[in-house]
Amino acid sequence: MSALIPLGRYTEVCENWCYYVYCKQNGDQAAWTVKVARQGADTRRGGAQCKKVQPNKCSNKGTGDGKNGKWPKHKHGWDCDEQPKASNAQGGAGAATRCIDPTENRSEGLVWMKFINGKTADQPDYLDDTTPVNVVLDDSWNGGLCKSLHHPDVTVCPQAASPNDPGVENDLERQQ
């Protein structure tokens, strides 16, 4: 079973996937395979610091001051994307997270939920929890964190952001 994510349409989501595989999993190709796990998704979302509580790391209501271990106010108030998703067994504390535009995050999330719930022409069957799914990124983009898709070992991983040091290069996306 494979799920195709169109890079041209969901570039930030794809960048986050590439960060997970190439930076957090050291390029392990097995990381592209996830298992559906609807139960416990809310707990895993919290472990990834993306739970819908205020403030999460992408909120524009942050209370951090760079010293107290809480994320500072994010100037955009974007959504928190996590890959693998909270609806995957591999999601949670080890997931890659990135602050992205809410429209892209919610649109791609809806595509994923329709896919695992059997509501697409390509995938008309409900996928039970524990069903393995191979995540496939289309070939329309091979830059940024996804350079290693076509050229092994060339992705340059940025320093991960933290509440006390969101970092200049991580000011927008707060990649972790």
Q: What digits encode the pLDDT tens for the residues 31-75?
A: 999 999 999 999 998 888 887 665 677 877 777 776 777 777 777
* Residue 140 confidence class, pLDDT cut points 50, 70, 90: low
Distances (CA, A) of 24 to 52, 54, 92, 99: 24, 26, 13, 17
pLDDT in tens, 63-116: 777 677 777 777 777 888 999 999 999 999 999 998 888 999 999 999 999 999
Residue scoring higher pLDDT (161 or 109):
109
* 146: Cβ contacts below 8 Å, ≥ 6 apart: 7, 14, 15, 17, 18, 137, 155
pLDDT for the residue numbered 86: 94
pTM over 0.75: yes
Report domain extents, the chain: 2-149
Q: Which of 7-11, 20-24, 39-43, 131-135 has the lowest mean pLDDT?
A: 7-11
